[in-house]
Structure 1
């Protein structure tokens, strides 16, 4: 089956749709991808250095006029976890126009016989229809799904999760906006204040400049990276890669609340407030085996070699 290519998008069909397996009763739905151009951007929040914070505190204590802040207070509010701001160069890649939908995910569940995932909690979380983003998906579940895609896709798969840098770069789409496509969260995101506290079908809100829907809100999305407390941790030589690749080293994590391996989630959800969750620079994390009622995924794909 030949599908015309539209500018900036590829309509991709799986072997189950285009090959001999097309006789199956329930073929896999198409996956629509956007071409993301190569480029550079400043990733993360501007976080003032410790010396700047101390100087500001002294000026305030002594009643002196404060110096011009190096960072905007709005960005400082997100703390060190979303900083420091740093330059990243990203190579061209493809990213799903929407999050993976329940209908797309069901194709894997059927083909792989993964009835073990069809728990009462999974089915309850995914009661919003096949066009809604699949949720209650762990990072490990996402990797299993991607592995199946790479095994069944014609001409090689090249499917993967995006890196955190790729995700934020695609979210921002070359624009200085707070959310993924707008300064107004209501225009681009389903969040706790406009969603009725439920997940919605994909692509109902305004896309960003690169045609990506729901990068802010609706469902959190796993990325490939493991969690670090910031992009450059104190006392460590290691730092977030500047080439846009996933940060997968020094992954052991510990603080007063959690310890062990945790993976990064991005984008916010229909169940969470917009400001602290759906902003372009905000980061969250969870263990790779954790499943949540608003946790899903978006596919990335490498271009043809």
Structure 2
């Protein structure tokens, strides 16, 4: 994992034309999206589509719901002797919330276990001190519709950002912890980064996407984070 320095990031939402600044503390973030091999090792569950005959270990884990991602974080934390970051209600231990909502899940911010990044952490890490829409030329850093041949690709095949993080844009969208806009969209969670089937305008550091926490689709995955401990 990469230690991401703290700083301030300004988030924006095109739908509401709102901007807001967030202070981000230093934290750890995985250098790559979670791979199918790592997901399967912990969960013994299939972790991706078999698009074009691909089923490679270093492909990003995809078709992973937000609920799947949260449970994976807790399972990996327990496997490594860490304190799970998420407290899940009994009804959500092996299944999504009965009503499809967050089901009363709570984030223990003092825990040393694995978790999803907040969207402020994600954008701060993606930008890595840069100020433009991307941290480099798109074809050099991201798999998107223009160069992906409409399929997913192994992690780490293109240039990283200045902080050593690969595939922050393109390949698979990545779940964040945050609710998108609970007043309008209820339990929908934030996705960031763009995917292999997206046009270039979706693969920008500021782009926000929303989806239901039970969604499983072939261009959505996750990246692990951990809080720095005092």
TM-score (structure 1 length as normaliser): 0.62
- On the 8 A contact 1:136/1:292 being kept in 2, the answer is yes
Equivalent residue, structure 2, for 1:215:
168
Equivalences, count = 201
Equivalent residue, structure 2, for 1:268:
194
Larger Rg over CA atoms: 1
Find the aligned partners of 2:28 and 2:141 in 1 and give their Cα distance. 21
Please state how far the C-alpha of 1:227 moved relative to its aligned partner. Answer: 1.1
Please state how far the C-alpha of 1:150 moved relative to its aligned partner. Answer: 1.6
DSSP 3-state at the match of 2:120: helix
Q: Which runs of 5+ in 2 are unaligned?
A: 84-111
Among candidates 120, 141, 145, match of residue 165 of structure 1 = 120
Please state how far the C-alpha of 1:155 moved relative to its aligned partner. Answer: 5.1
Equivalent residue, structure 2, for 1:36:
4
Distance 1:98 1:287, change over 3 A: same
Calculate the aligned-residue CA RMSD, in Å: 1.9
DSSP 3-state at the match of 1:268: coil
Distance 1:165 1:222, change over 3 A: same
- On the 8 A contact 1:252/1:261 being kept in 2, the answer is no
Please state how far the C-alpha of 1:148 moved relative to its aligned partner. Answer: 0.3
Among candidates 274, 281, 286, match of residue 211 of structure 2 = 286
DSSP 3-state at the match of 1:174: coil
TM-score (structure 2 length as normaliser): 0.81
Poorly superposed stretches of 4+, deviation over 4 Å: none
Q: What is the CA deviation profile of residues 189-248 of structure 1, one whole-angstrom value per residue up to 9, with x for unaligned ones?
A: 0000100001100111111011100000000000000112xxxxxxxxxxxxxxxxxxxx
Q: What is the CA deviation profile of residues 29-54 of structure 1, one whole-angstrom value per residue up to 9, with x for unaligned ones?
A: xxxx0000111232326xxxxxxxxx
Q: Which runs of 5+ in 1 are unaligned?
A: 1-32, 46-78, 229-250, 255-259
Please state how far the C-alpha of 1:252 moved relative to its aligned partner. Answer: 4.7
1 or 2 for the larger relative contact order (CA 8 Å, sep ≥6)? 2
Find the aligned partners of 1:155 and 1:139 in 2 and give their Cα distance. 21
Please state how far the C-alpha of 1:304 moved relative to its aligned partner. Answer: 2.4
Among candidates 11, 15, 18, match of residue 80 of structure 1 = 15
